[in-house]
Amino acid sequence: MNAIVLAPGVTLWREKFSRAEQKTLLDDVLARIEDAPFYRPVMPGSGNPFSVEESNFGALGWVSDKNGYRYQATHPVTAAPWPAIPDALMDLWREIAAAPDPECCLVNLYRGSARMGLHQDKDEKDLSAPVVSVSLGDDALFRIGGTARKDPTRSVKLSSGDVVMFGGPARLAYHGIDRIYPGGSSLIPGGGRINLTLRRVSA
Ligand code: MD6
Ligand code: FE
């Protein structure tokens, strides 16, 4: 498929999931969310709420609370184990990642003015595996930089069905979501954007 290399180690596939595949994946995701509802994490220390709501699929979920960031096997509100990662996402990972199976699929829900500040994905023990992310719903302005916070950044609009992979020299690149463009997609009931981020956690 038409892979676009945005920077060394950063690859983008436009509409890797067709509209029909997006709908099937979304239905699967929302069914699993019934068992692991979105909740609003808070920042370590300050306790300020995230503007995104989150959940997870897989053996380990990424969570943030007053005590810090970590991976844990259970939902922080329901205490239930996370649902399994959808097959379509396992298939995607096996097609492009060239690494042992992912253990975490972080699910981010952006509504309204939700955004995600510039960050590194660095809570995983295995930094040799890439991180793979799938966008569904409204467009988003994604910003990527280098491995230092002060490095120059570039911005790219991500649309429903797009897939981004960070690996190798870009595994610890700073990145974030500056804004969502509301109302552009009818995929998600109630509007907004869902991002699914697949990660290998253990070495
Ligand atoms: C998002 N994505 O697209 C947030 N992380 O909503 C991420 O934080 C991300 O897209 C690592 C690799 C790819 C990503
Ligand atoms: Fe990230």
Query: What is the per-residue pLDDT across 116-156, written as a single tens digit (0 to 9) for each?
Result: 999 999 999 999 999 999 999 999 999 999 999 999 999 99
**pTM for this structure?**
0.97
pLDDT of 196 reads 98
Q: Do 163 and 16 touch, CB atoms closer than 8 A?
A: yes
18 CA distance to ligand 2 middle (Å) = 23
19 CA distance to ligand 2 middle (Å) = 24
Domains of the chain from N-terminus onward: 4-199 (2.60.120.590)
133 CA distance to ligand 1 middle (Å) = 6
Closest Cα to atom 11, ligand 1: which residue?
131
Which of 48-82 are b and which e, b meaning 16 or more Cβ less than 10 Å from the residue's Cβ? eebebbbbbbbbbbbbbeeeeeebeeebeeeeeeb
Residue 30: closest CA among 74, 81, 83:
83
Cβ–ligand 1 contact at 121 (below 6 Å): yes
Cβ–ligand 1 contact at 131 (below 6 Å): yes
If phi > 0 it is left, if psi is from -120 to 50 it is alpha, else beta; for residue 147 that is: alpha
Which of 50, 197, 199 gets mutated to test ligand 1 (max ligand atoms within 8 A of its CB)?
A: 197
Name residue 67's amino acid.
Answer: N
75 CA distance to ligand 2 middle (Å) = 20
pLDDT of 51 reads 98
Which of 140-153 are b and which e, b meaning 16 or more Cβ less than 10 Å from the residue's Cβ? bebbbbbeeeeeeb
Cβ–ligand 1 contact at 166 (below 6 Å): yes
Cβ–ligand 1 contact at 164 (below 6 Å): yes
pLDDT of 1 reads 66
Residue 13: closest CA among 135, 130, 101:
135
pLDDT of 2 reads 83
- What is the pLDDT of the chain when averaged over all its residues? 97
pLDDT tens, the chain, 203 aa long: 689 999 999 999 999 999 999 999 999 999 999 999 999 999 999 999 999 999 999 999 999 999 999 999 999 999 999 999 999 999 999 999 999 999 999 999 999 999 999 999 999 999 999 999 999 999 999 999 999 999 999 999 999 999 999 999 999 999 999 999 999 999 999 999 999 999 999 98
pLDDT of 111 reads 97
Ligand that lies nearest to the alpha carbon of residue 10, given by its number in the listed order? 1
Residue 159: closest CA among 38, 10, 16, 4:
16
105 beta partners: 57, 198
Cβ–ligand 1 contact at 133 (below 6 Å): yes
**What distances in angstroms separate CA 61 from CA 19, 125, 188, 194, one per listed residue?**
28, 14, 23, 16
User: Looking at residue 191, what DSSP letter applies?
Assistant: S
The rounded distance, in Å, linking the Cα atoms of 108 and 167 is: 20
Compute the half-sphere exposure of residue 90: CA atoms within 13 Å on the CB side of its CA.
9
